[in-house]
């Protein structure tokens, strides 16, 4: 099965790393966004199955994206990949519907294990 995946991070290097992990292990149709506003435009324009989301970005941050997804009732799995690893931030993203939280740089095994846990293979 092919999954529509959006990788949202203001760092091109971080996006490439996540994309490499996903492309080598899953059949995906790939989309990229460099900030939260661009991500929301993509999420509102087409069906995205999985969003890999950074928290610290210009224009609209990851928390803003999670809040907008919830407000607009957009259905997609969200995995947060961020260097902001404070316990209260992990709780906040979970309360906004994220499946999980991985610390940057995310290892392929960690990302795939989390996705497999939710049936994404």
Which pLDDT does position 28 carry in this prediction?
A: 86
Residue 5 to residues 33, 84, 87, 92, Cα–Cα distance (Å): 11, 22, 27, 23
- CA dist 101 and 78 (Å) reads 9
pTM exceeds cut of 0.75: yes
- The number of residues making up the chain comes to 121
Place of tokens 């939280």: 101
Q: Which two tokens stand for residue 46?
A: 């087409």
3-state secondary structure (DSSP) of residue 73:
coil
pLDDT in tens, the chain (121 residues): 788 999 999 999 999 999 988 888 888 899 999 999 999 999 999 999 999 999 999 999 999 999 999 999 999 999 999 987 788 888 999 999 998 898 998 888 888 888 888 788 7
Of 39, 40, 56, which is closest to residue 103 (Cα–Cα)? 56
Q: What is the distance between the alpha carbons of residues 79 and 16, in angstroms, rounded to a whole number? A: 16
Q: Say how many Å lie between the first and final Cα of the chain, rounded.
A: 8
Tokens for 67, please give them. Answer: 């809040």
Q: Domain 3-115 is in which class?
A: alpha beta
């Amino acid at each position: 099965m092919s999954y529509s995946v959006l990788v949202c991070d203001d760092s091109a290097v971080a996006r490439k790393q996540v994309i490499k992990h996903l492309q080598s292990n899953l059949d995906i149709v790939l989309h990229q966004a460099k900030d939260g506003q661009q991500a929301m435009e993509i999420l509102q324009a087409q069906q995205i199955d999985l969003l890999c989301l950074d928290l610290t970005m210009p224009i609209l941050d990851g928390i803003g994206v999670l809040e907008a997804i919830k407000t607009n009732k957009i259905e997609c799995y969200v995995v947060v990949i961020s260097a902001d690893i404070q316990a209260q931030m992990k709780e906040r993203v979970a309360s906004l519907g994220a499946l999980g939280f991985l610390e940057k740089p995310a290892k392929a095994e960690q990302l795939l294990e989390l996705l497999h846990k939710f049936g994404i293979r």
